[in-house]
Amino acid sequence: MKSNLSPLAPKADQDTVRRHNLSLVLRAVHDEGESTRAGVAARVGLTRAAVSSLVEQLLEGGFLTESGKTFSGQAGRPGTVLKPSRTGAAGVGVEINVDYVTVCVVDLTGTDRVRLTERLDNRGAPPAEVLARAARIASHALDSARQQELRPAGVTLALPGLVAGGTVRQAPNLGWNGVAADALFAQALAEYPNTPSLPVSSENEANLAALAELWFGGPGEARTFLYLSGEIGVGGALVLNGELLRGAHGFAGEIGHVPLDPAGPACRCGARGCLEQYAGQSALLRGAGIDEDAGAAGVAELERRAAAGDERALAALGTAGVMLGRVLAGAVNLVDPEAVVLGGVYRALAPWLSPPAEAELAARVVSGLWPHDSGRLRASSLAGDAARGAAALVVEAVLDDPARWAQGAGAE
Amino acid sequence: MKSNLSPLAPKADQDTVRRHNLSLVLRAVHDEGESTRAGVAARVGLTRAAVSSLVEQLLEGGFLTESGKTFSGQAGRPGTVLKPSRTGAAGVGVEINVDYVTVCVVDLTGTDRVRLTERLDNRGAPPAEVLARAARIASHALDSARQQELRPAGVTLALPGLVAGGTVRQAPNLGWNGVAADALFAQALAEYPNTPSLPVSSENEANLAALAELWFGGPGEARTFLYLSGEIGVGGALVLNGELLRGAHGFAGEIGHVPLDPAGPACRCGARGCLEQYAGQSALLRGAGIDEDAGAAGVAELERRAAAGDERALAALGTAGVMLGRVLAGAVNLVDPEAVVLGGVYRALAPWLSPPAEAELAARVVSGLWPHDSGRLRASSLAGDAARGAAALVVEAVLDDPARWAQGAGAE
C-alpha cells in the first residue's frame, strides 16, 4: 500500500491542523510552566522548524513570553526560555452564592491575579438585582485586571443550581427559577463604561469547583473522580478521564438528591429522603444542636465542638458520614471512580465524616474494590473553589484555540 | 498573523493524518451504508482528489467495494457506488453465560453473518473447560466465516462479571474468580489447526449489550443512556456521548449493587439490600411463586402469568419496578442520561416494570426533569445483544484504524 500514499493537505484541513498545533504548543509550555523550543518539539512530536514557526505566532499574539536567559536542563543546545504570558488573555470567574459574591481573574499561567469577595445576603433579592451586584463587583475586578495588563477573554458565572444554556432552571437556595443569568449579567456589566464587552456563560458551582480541583489540585490527582460539595445543598460533579460530565441536559452530578429512604423527610426538590436531608449543612447543624441558619459560623462551631469531643456533634457527623457512604457506595458501583473528593463544608468536617463513610464504602462496593485503607475518599484541596474554576474554564477555552482568541483580542 | 502561516507537515504528523483520514473515509461510507467519492468528500470536508486517493487505498485493502452502477441521489456527476466490503475484515464475539455460549461474526457493514448458539450448563465446570467449549464453538463459527471469505480481525469475549485487563476478577453466577480468560481462550482456540491466530480481549456482557444497543438500536437512539441488563444478576452500563464508560478499573455500571436497604437481604457481593436482591431474576421468580432456578422458562412463565393478570406475578413485578425506579432516580440525578434502557429479561417484562419505575422517576428526579410521559424509560431493541456487541467492538477497532488492520491481514 505504501506507493499509494500521497500527502494530504486540503486547505481546510491544514488550517485545522495549524490551529490544533498552536494549541498543542501553547499547552506544552503551559503544562510544563516553562520550556524551550527544543523542549516543546520533543514533547509534542513536531519538528523544531514547525515549533519555531508556531512559537513566533504565539509570541506575537501575546500568549507566550521569551526571556533572554538560557535553560540548560534540556538535552541539546540551550535556548531561550518560553513561558505563558502573565499579561494578555485571562479568564474571569464570578461565583454568586447565598451569602457572598466572589470575582476571580486567572491568567494564562493559572495564577489567581485578582480576587474580590463581598459578603452580602442574596436571598430574597430579585435575581436581576443580585446579578447587578455581581456585575458591579466584577467591574472593580476588571479595573484591577486592566491595571495588570490582563485582557479577559470571557466571564463564567458559578451558580448554586441547575444551569444550562445560560439559564438557571432552578437554584432553590437563591430562590431562582428560570433566570436568564447570562443575559442579565451581561446587560448589567454593560452599564460600566470602562468594562470590555465579554462573552458570558454560566455553570453549576460544584462542576466548577470540581474542575478547579482537577486543574489546580496538584500532581498525582485523580483524573476520574466524584466531587461532593457540602453546602446548604449537597452538590456534586463527575469528572471522567479529565472531563466534566455534563449529562443530557447539563444537570449531571446531583448526588444530593439520590434517595436514601423513600419515606424520609420532605426535600426542597419535591421528593423524600434525599441525601441532602441527612447530610446537608442544615441537617448537620440541627443534629448537633446548632442553629441551622448560622451559616459559616455554625459550621465553624460544629468543627470546634467535634474537635472538643462533643457527643451530639460527633453523633450528627457520624450519621451524616454513614448516609454519605451509603450513597457514595452506589455511585462508586455505578461509575467506578479513582477517588471521591469532599469539598465545601465537608472539607473541614472530613476528619469526622470520612471514617463512617469509608466503612460503608468498604462494605458495599463490589468485589472489594474499595478496601478500608484505600485513601481514595479525601478532602478537597484548597484549590478547589468555584470562582477559580469558573475563571480557569475561560482560560482553558483560550488554550484550546489561541488563534480564535487572538482574533478577538482587540475587542477591548 | 496570517503572514506567519507556514504549511506544517512533519512526517510523523502526516502519517497520523493519513491514517485518521483513511478511517474518516471508511466511516463515512460505513455510516451511510453506501456513497460515492463526491458524497464522501462533501461529508468529510476533504478534497475530491484526497478522497479518491484514500478510497483507492481502502479498495486495495479490501475494506470497500465498488460497483459499476451509477448513483444519482447525490449532487454533481454520478459516480460509482462505494460500499463497505462484505468480505475481508470482520469481528468475532463470544458470549459465555450461565446456560449458553453464543458466537457471532459481524462484517464491516455491521451485519451478523454467522451466529452459533449452544445451550449447555456452564455452572460448576472449571473455567478452563468452559473456555475450551467456547473455543470449540468459535472454531465452527470461524470455519463458516472462512467459507464466506471473512477474515476475522479479533475476538471479544462477553462475560457476566467484573472484567479488566483480560482477567475475570469475579463472575459469581459462573463461579469464576481471577480467571485469565483471554489467555485460556486463545490457548484453547490454538488447538484447532485451521483457525487463525487472533487477538482476544474480554469485556463485561452488559457493556457489550449496551454498545450493541448504541450501534444497532436504529435511528433516533439516545447517545447518552443507562443500560440495565436484568439476568440472574442485574448488570448495567453507562454510555456517555456515544462512548462506554469503563471507569477507573473497568468496572463501571454495577447498578445491581446500588444499596436500597442497608439492613436488607444478604447479596452475593457481600453487602446487604442491593438492587439485585429486589429486582434480579431470582427475586422476581420467587416473588411470583415460580421456581427461582427455572431460568428462561421461568421468565417466560412469569410473563405469561402477568399477561393473564395473575396477582402474585403482578405484585412481584410491581415491587421490582418500584425498586428499579428508586435506584434509577438516583442514577439519573447523578448522570443525567437521555434515556434508560431495560435489557435482558427486563425487555419482555418492561410492560409491567415500567409504570411503577416511571412513577418513582417522576417523583424523585430533580426539577421535573423526568416527566411522567417522558418515554425515556424503554425496553431495549432486539439488537442489543452482547455477542453482537462483542463482535462489533472488533469491527469498530478496524473502522478506527484500517491501516493497522491491513498490515495484519495476512495473518491467516
Q: Which CATH number goes with the domain that contains A399?
A: 3.30.420.40
Query: Can you give the pLDDT at residue A307?
Result: 96
Task: Write out the three cell numbers for A174.
Answer: 437563591
Amino acid at A97: N
Chain B contact probe: residue of A48, A278, A333 with most B CBs at under 10 A: A333
Tell me whether B143 touches chain A (CB under 8 Å).
no
| Domain identity same for A63 and A113 | no
* B270/A406 CB distance under 8 A: no
Amino acid at A336: D
Tell me whether B166 touches chain A (CB under 8 Å).
no
Please give, rounded to a whole number of angstroms, the shortest distance from the CA of B241 to a CA of chain A. Answer: 9
Give the pLDDT band (50/70/90) at residue B412.
very low
Q: What is the CATH number of the domain that holds B77?
A: 1.10.10.10
* B251/A366 CB distance under 8 A: yes
Partners of residue A327 in chain B, C-beta under 8 Å: 330
Tell me whether A219 touches chain B (CB under 8 Å).
no
- How far CA B243 is from CA of B106, B224, B234, B254, in Å, comes to 20, 8, 21, 17
* CB proximity under 8 Å: A 257-316 to B: 257-259, 262, 269-271, 274
Query: Can you give the pLDDT at residue B236?
Result: 94
Question: How many Cα atoms are found within 13 Å in the side-chain-facing hemisphere of A38?
Answer: 12
Is the pLDDT at A213 greater than 50? The verdict is: yes
What would the DSSP string read from start to end of B386-399? HHHHHHHHHHHHHH
Q: What b-and-e string marks burial along A272-306, b requiring 16 or more CB atoms within 10 Å of the CB?
A: bbbbbbbbbbbbbbebbebebeebeebbebbbebb
Q: What is the pTM of this model?
A: 0.84
A106, A143, A114: which is closest to A30 by C-alpha?
A106
Task: Write out the three cell numbers for A390.
Answer: 469558573
Which residue on chain B is closest to A339 by alpha carbon? B248
Q: Among A60, A248, A253, whose Cβ lies nearest the Cβ of B4? A: A60
Please give, rounded to a whole number of angstroms, the shortest distance from the CA of A111 to a CA of chain B. Answer: 27
For residues B396 and A231, give the distance between their C-alpha atoms in angstroms, rounded to a whole number: 44
Tell me whether B9 touches chain A (CB under 8 Å).
yes
User: In total, how many domains does chain B have?
Assistant: 3
Give, for A343, the enclosing helix (H) or strand (E): strand A339-344
Chain B contact probe: residue of A13, A16, A336 with most B CBs at under 10 A: A336
Residue range A273-309, pLDDT digits in tens: 999 999 999 999 999 999 998 888 899 999 999 999 9
The answer to whether residue A1 sits within a structural domain is: no
Query: Can you give the pLDDT at residue B218?
Result: 65
Give the pLDDT band (50/70/90) at residue B410.
very low
| Domain identity same for B364 and B268 | yes
- How far CA B128 is from CA of A38, B179, B180, in Å, comes to 53, 9, 9
Beta bridge partners of A95: A102, A158
Beta bridge partners of B158: B95, B203
Question: How many Cα atoms are found within 13 Å in the side-chain-facing hemisphere of A373?
Answer: 0
The answer to whether residue A213 sits within a structural domain is: no
Which residue on chain B is closest to A359 by alpha carbon? B271
Is the pLDDT at B324 greater than 60? The verdict is: yes
Please give, rounded to a whole number of angstroms, the shortest distance from the CA of A68 to a CA of chain B. Answer: 23
Please give, rounded to a whole number of angstroms, the shortest distance from the CA of A255 to a CA of chain B. Answer: 5
Partners of residue A247 in chain B, C-beta under 8 Å: 224, 335-337
To the nearest whole percent, how much of chain B has pLDDT over 90?
Answer: 67
pLDDT (average), residues A232-248 = 91
Tell me whether A410 touches chain B (CB under 8 Å).
no
Which residue on chain B is closest to A168 by alpha carbon? B367
Q: Which residue has the cell 453507562?
A: B238
* CB proximity under 8 Å: A 324-353 to B: 326-327, 329-331, 333-338
Is the pLDDT at B376 greater than 80? The verdict is: yes
Please give, rounded to a whole number of angstroms, the shortest distance from the CA of B147 to a CA of chain A. Answer: 26
Amino acid at A121: D
Which residue on chain A is closest to B45 by alpha carbon? A12
- Residue B406's SS3 state is helix
| Domain identity same for B245 and B139 | no
For residues B258 and A334, give the distance between their C-alpha atoms in angstroms, rounded to a whole number: 8
For residues B172 and B280, give the distance between their C-alpha atoms in angstroms, rounded to a whole number: 14
Query: Can you give the pLDDT at residue B4?
Result: 30
Task: Write out the three cell numbers for A356.
Answer: 463512617
Distance of CA A349 to the CA centre of its chain: 21
Please give, rounded to a whole number of angstroms, the shortest distance from the CA of B260 to a CA of chain A. Answer: 7
Tell me whether B121 touches chain A (CB under 8 Å).
no
Query: Can you give the pLDDT at residue A3?
Result: 30
The answer to whether residue B10 sits within a structural domain is: no
Residue range B209-237, pLDDT digits in tens: 999 999 988 656 788 999 999 988 899 99
For residues B82 and B33, give the distance between their C-alpha atoms in angstroms, rounded to a whole number: 9
Long-range pairs for A31-34 at CB < 8 Å and ≥24 separation?
A: A33/A83, A33/A109, A34/A71, A34/A81, A34/A82, A34/A83
Phi then psi for residue A108, to 5 deg, are: -65, -20
| Domain identity same for B168 and B246 | no
* A45/B13 CB distance under 8 A: yes
The answer to whether residue B213 sits within a structural domain is: no
Please answer whether residues B337 and B226 qualify as being in contact, where contact means their C-beta atoms are separated by less than 8 angstroms.
yes
Which residue on chain A is closest to B255 by alpha carbon? A334
Chain B contact probe: residue of A367, A372, A374, A376 with most B CBs at under 10 A: A367
Q: Among B5, B17, B334, whose Cβ lies nearest the Cβ of A258? A: B334
| Domain identity same for B62 and B151 | no
Residue range B235-262, pLDDT digits in tens: 999 999 999 998 888 889 999 999 999 8
Out of A84, A114, A144, pick the residue that ends a domain: A84
Q: Counting Cβ atoms within 10 Å, is residue B43 exposed (0-12), middle (13-18) or buried (19+)? A: middle
| Domain identity same for A66 and A136 | no
Rounding to the nearest 10 degrees, give the CA dihedral for residues B109, B114, B115, B118.
Answer: -160
Chain A, chain B: beta-carbon pairs less than 8 Å apart: 198
The answer to whether residue A335 sits within a structural domain is: yes
Out of A84, A108, A141, pick the residue that ends a domain: A84
A70, A14, A46, A378: which is closest to A226 by C-alpha?
A378
Query: Can you give the pLDDT at residue A78?
Result: 60
Out of B85, B100, B131, pick the residue that ends a domain: B85
The answer to whether residue B22 sits within a structural domain is: no
The answer to whether residue A7 sits within a structural domain is: no
Residue range B104-148, pLDDT digits in tens: 999 999 999 999 999 888 888 999 999 999 999 999 999 999 999
Is the pLDDT at B8 greater than 80? The verdict is: no
Amino acid at B288: A
| Domain identity same for A68 and A100 | no
Q: Which domain holds residue B238?
A: 220-379
| Domain identity same for A227 and A370 | yes
Q: Which residue has the cell 451466529?
A: B115
Please answer whether residues B163 and B202 qualify as being in contact, where contact means their C-beta atoms are separated by less than 8 angstroms.
yes
| Domain identity same for A201 and A292 | no
Please give, rounded to a whole number of angstroms, the shortest distance from the CA of A148 to a CA of chain B. Answer: 25
| Domain identity same for B224 and B362 | yes
Tell me whether A239 touches chain B (CB under 8 Å).
no
Q: Which residue has the cell 448495567?
A: B236
- Residues in CB range of B38: below 8 A, 6 or more apart: B48, B74, B75, B76, B77, B79
Is the pLDDT at A409 greater than 90? The verdict is: no
| Domain identity same for A125 and A193 | yes
The answer to whether residue A8 sits within a structural domain is: no
| Domain identity same for A335 and A290 | yes
Is the pLDDT at A117 greater than 70? The verdict is: yes
Partners of residue B402 in chain A, C-beta under 8 Å: none
* A247/B224 CB distance under 8 A: yes
* B60/A1 CB distance under 8 A: yes
Least confident among A7-11, B179-183, B402-406: A7-11
Tell me whether A183 touches chain B (CB under 8 Å).
no
Tell me whether B62 touches chain A (CB under 8 Å).
no
Least confident among A170-179, A401-410, B140-149, B357-366: A401-410
Please answer whether residues A273 and A264 qualify as being in contact, where contact means their C-beta atoms are separated by less than 8 angstroms.
yes
A340, A270, A322, A214: which is closest to B333 by C-alpha?
A270
Is the pLDDT at A219 greater than 80? The verdict is: no
Could you report the predicted ipTM of this complex, rounded to two decimals? 0.82
Tell me whether B408 touches chain A (CB under 8 Å).
no
For residues A36 and A34, give the distance between their C-alpha atoms in angstroms, rounded to a whole number: 7
For residues A339 and B131, give the distance between their C-alpha atoms in angstroms, rounded to a whole number: 35
Beta bridge partners of B102: B95, B117
pLDDT (average), residues A330-340 = 94
